[in-house]
Structure 1
């Protein structure tokens, strides 16, 4: 650090219940003093080379170990403990780090630390990631990537039913962003294959229209969402105290599956209605009820919803004047009817 080299003291404070790992541990080791809050950890510091060969990994680890031990020695810290953070993926809690001489002190919070350093009277500022960095950080979440690909596929599927270009465009954008994020984290090929298979299965819903294909596709996509993080989990299994896919993520996946059930039911009903042949004009008279206004033997006249229609009886059976009838067919302007036995559907007088 240039300020450190110029004689300007630079301090690191790792807040309570926080972690100073990976790059953060190297930054901390380069500062004048390191202080930690209760429940925090420093390390591990093993470099992660995603997709690299074993030779590249060994080369990188050796270089970073030399850097870490050099920084520790320059600031009078425990060189051996610092080296172990790199080659053995070791992390130390607050008390351990203090006892072995890896940090300078313990403070319950930032304000107390600044008071001890005599810095409480100086103005403070917060440095945040810029928008692009925040975007990259957001897209580096495997759950987000998997959900984007899933929702993108669903948007395109819904557009096939509702025919709006907007949904298709949105779906393509979401899928593109999901694949971009998956590339950022070096996702597993198996996870991507699961996501693509799940999306393909969703589109089978257009053919089957029973909801099972859609729900199965979403379930496979959720498995793929978990699997795309496999390289990250493997590479960082000891770098963090918990699996990067936590309880909240599993709850989100559960909610998505529930919404999938609802959507599958909706598309099943929608598909059934689209399959059903619409009744228009005279076809809508079939199954209607009415009354014979003359005797049908076999031809005569009937009244449907107050309108008179010429009709013939089914199989030439005589239907007496005043009898209730049900329309069972239509040919041209002549209805085919049968005497109502109480099994009709529509009522007309």
Structure 2
């Protein structure tokens, strides 16, 4: 801030304003190496020489080892008050905005103060650290539901719109660039392949998850991230993950118990006491003979007494046309052997 201020041809300060303390720091708020400090000192010196003011004042704002009598002692960075800045020629004091206009000779000029319109307020709201996790949560939850359900419906639409709101707001304020948007587009394409071309969660779903997740993280940290940006982004993603987990828990555990959801979720249970079984043994088939109508590898199909029956060969591979005999029936599994011990008999 101080460097930008002294770079101007004229600097105006109101009472109680401050200027200085311009040591270069790293992203972790630690003092940068001497190489960076030297460049900053040179910049202050060059600007002061151009403006015809004392270069040592600007250098003392960067280097705490410099002492200036009446301003700062060695070991402390220089920060100028308004009176001090006026005394060393770094600024002119004004009583307010109206006085500044008079000094500039434009006291009668029309002053227009730009306000914040509804679109800017909307973008600020959507990019708020408290709102962003909600958009991510809704978007992620919608996509997860869409992956686990057939076709494309409301959940996917809401999910995509939420992600669009998140990325759109971050793109407008300059945090998300074309790289993040391309990653998001690739993720949505992979998601479409997963939903419409390759049912079930597979490679396309994994690619979609990685692309969308990477684009979200990159949009949150910006183009020149600091450690605090990475920490903030991780916190937002962590919070969004917790919201998604809680929402899934409520949907799976709580929603079926609601009266309004009884028409959506199956409420009845099946048990063997009520006569529900996965299959029953056909002991009446033991000893019956039939013909394999497919190769038995060892599983296959035979025809017996006009009925098609799925069986398993007890001796391994048997070619189509082999005459077989059922030797036992185990629930839904029927085991056969060749009648004459010779394939194709």
Q: With structure 1 as the length reference, what TM-score do the two structures score?
A: 0.42
**Which has the greater radius of gyration?**
2
TM-score (norm 2): 0.42
